[in-house]
Structure 1
Amino acid sequence: MRLNGEISCWNEEQRENESGALVSPPKLVVGYALTSKKVKSFLQPKLEGLARKKGIMFVAIDQNRPLSDQGPFDIVLHKLTGKEWRQILEDYWEKHPEVTVLDPPGAIQHLNNRQSMLQDVADLNLSDCYGRVGVPKQLVITKDPSSITHAVDRAGLTFPIVAKPLVVDGSAKSHELSLAFDQYSLSMLEPPLVLQEFVNHGGVLFKVYIVGEAIKVVRRFSLPDVDESQVLNNAGVFRFPRVSCAAASADDADLDPAVAELPPRPLLERLAKELRWRLGLRLFNIDIIRKHGIRDQYYVIDINYFPGYGKMPGYEQIFTDFLLSLMKSKYKRRSSNS
């Protein structure tokens, strides 16, 4: 078959490599449609090497050719934006339902809006013996900066207030945030945006990576706590880049144990399970903070599709195991139906 312009003769059970040794065909062919930045961060040599050993072949999808003319693929892995790509992928999936698409474009769309993104968490009302999970009090502003002050008063939000772009489109700008300290500064913000009450969290957030049923948690430095005097003495808007992405890992830092303690594993497993089902996604991460001084109160502040797995310790093993598990599940379903 032809893969992205290269001919691979896997129509035989085995073929010879350059040294003349027999090589088994790949168990799994994964076509990927990713930005060049994502390819560089995700398809690292260690991942590709481990994948080859496990019989997984990653093949670049040529965006200049019809998708149906490429492959065949067992899995399509993608993170591209735009209506055109979404339509291409949906048309392809309709014609090739046997291919696993990671993840369905309609489900990913849900995370492109911060209002709908966190609504699923708010609807959970997750509270058990391991802790409580919610979202910060928030407000959506779609237009007219002059109306923000009145809307904030009406909603009862207190300062400081975090402002984030409403739409998440994969650009660096969509992950920037601002911190507003007074009412006057609110009119300087540019809708559409989401306003969230800032929650003191010890300057640390927990990045919870989800790969299928696997969960991995890392600590990242975040915005420092803000006390009442800082609110009174500061004015204006302070703008920040993508905080959790740019920040260094806090896993090896000398932190107060009350700040550094990871959220309870059973709580994260329940949260991940609920969100996998509600979102219809298998590849995402959850940014969680713990309210400073309250050990069992957690807030989800962001959810991202197909995050920077290259920064997740041991992602190569976790990801390749996940891909193989998808095929194993598919074969089981086929056997039970036959």
Structure 2
Amino acid sequence: MRLNDENDEEGGPKTMSHCSIGHLQQEKSFVIVGYALTSKKVESFLKPKLEGLARNKGILFVAIDQNRPLSDQGPFDIVLHKLTGKEWRQILEEYRRTHPEVTVLDPPDAIQHLHNRQSMLQCVADMNLSDTYGKVGVPRQLVIKRDSSSIPDAVTKAGLILPLVAKPLVADGSAKSHELSLAYDEYSLQKLEPPLVLQEFVNHGGVLFKVYIVGEAIKVVRRFSLPDVTKRELSKNAGVFRFPRVSCAAASADDADLDPSVAELPPRPLLERLAKELRRRLGLRLFNLDIIREHGRRDHFYVIDINYFPGKVRENAWVRTYIYGLPVKPRAKPIQEKIGIVSKLLETLKNRNVKKGMAPNGVSESLIMNGKH
């Protein structure tokens, strides 16, 4: 089973044998999370802190061997994945059909829905969410599939207001899919390369909110974003500007000295309602939203992007959100009992003078006790 984005490096994640995992499940009541991730995702996601928190909750992360049939591995309680390709989707769909007792995070077809920026936000637009806590919508947008010379006319007919954010239509996590631009004038729109989505830029005080969702768990952090564009700046500027030149969206704004009207987090009840409805409509349990508040309108919010299984885990609280949001079955033994069992198991392995870092049956010591990585 060789798939796209697989890890070919020697000494990559070790996998447990079928009998080893089964023994741990039956005798120790651990929850086994089989993961199929790119090497880059493993590096950014499976931090020692996360594995430690997981261990304390009775959860073990085990690498899925991409050289073996998935049905021959496990047994797993949860399969966590972020690989691409038609072959992998078919493998997972077959696995879900034959292993209904396993929770797959998340269904491949549901994830595919987020790979197109046209369909990605449609569910938010269809919701037309509005209550006493605020209103959530999406910026007006236009899809251009071909012929860049026709973009200015199409924008005029659609009534979109400059400046416009240009995003690739395909959002597959590749470097190209993150190449965002800001277009200040109609003439410059012809320089853009379809297929793409043109989205009205909404002034939002230079701050966006990343809302991370794992099941029913929600974590919100602030990020710096593009600064507001005044009418004067719009009249003086022309051209297309790449985001890396005008944005520092990766920088945390949680500790910055911001205007309270800008820094105030969206109301929790509004986010909970939004997350619940999106989980139902998208069929996903592991995703994040990029949300902005329209400058000068305290209760008007816009979802500008949705991502499956977000990238880097930066905040300790978000690490906990991953762990405590996992749909763990209520059969685990008390934490202290589990820790004691694992400690005894590790001591037994050491006494047998096993090869450094490895236990019998191919069990990685780091997988069991979160040793050095």
Give me the TM-score of the superposition, normalised by structure 2. Answer: 0.81
Which residue, out of 145, 154, 169, partners 2:148?
145
Structure having the larger proportion of residues in strand: 1
8 Å Cα contact 2:167-2:179 kept in structure 1: yes
Which residue, out of 132, 136, 153, partners 2:135?
132
The one-letter code sitting in structure 1 at the alignment partner of 2:298 is R
1:4 aligns with 2:4: no
Q: Residue in 2 aligned with 1:104?
A: 107
1:328 aligns with 2:330: yes
Structure 1 runs of 4+ off > 3 angstroms? 5-15, 241-246
Structure of higher RCO (CA pairs closer than 8 Å, 6+ residues apart): 2
Deviation of 1:322 after TM superposition, in Å, equals 2.4
8 Å Cα contact 1:136-1:199 kept in structure 2: yes
8 Å Cα contact 1:177-1:240 kept in structure 2: yes
Q: Residue in 2 aligned with 1:318?
A: 321
Q: Residue in 2 aligned with 1:171?
A: 174
Take 1:172 and 1:86, find their aligned partners in 2: how far apart are those partners?
Answer: 22
SS of the residue corresponding to residue 298 of structure 1 reads strand
SS of the residue corresponding to residue 59 of structure 1 reads strand
Map 1:1-338 onto structure 2 (within 5 A): 4=15, 6=17, 9=20, 25-241=28-244, 247-308=250-311, 310-323=313-326, 325-328=327-330
Deviations 1:101-141 (A, max 9, x none): 00011111111111111000000111111111110010001
Take 1:180 and 1:233, find their aligned partners in 2: how far apart are those partners?
Answer: 13
Take 1:238 and 1:192, find their aligned partners in 2: how far apart are those partners?
Answer: 18
Deviation of 1:176 after TM superposition, in Å, equals 2.0
Take 2:237 and 2:23, find their aligned partners in 1: how far apart are those partners?
Answer: 71
Residues 26 and 315 of structure 1: CA distance in aligned 2, closer, same or farther (over 3 Å): farther
8 Å Cα contact 2:146-2:194 kept in structure 1: yes
Deviations 1:202-243 (A, max 9, x none): 000000110110111100000000111111111111011499
Deviations 1:52-83 (A, max 9, x none): 22221111111122111211111100011111
The one-letter code sitting in structure 1 at the alignment partner of 2:330 is K
Q: CA RMSD in A?
A: 2.2
Deviation of 1:168 after TM superposition, in Å, equals 0.8
Residue-pair matches, total: 318
8 Å Cα contact 1:285-1:305 kept in structure 2: yes
Percent identity between matched residues is 75
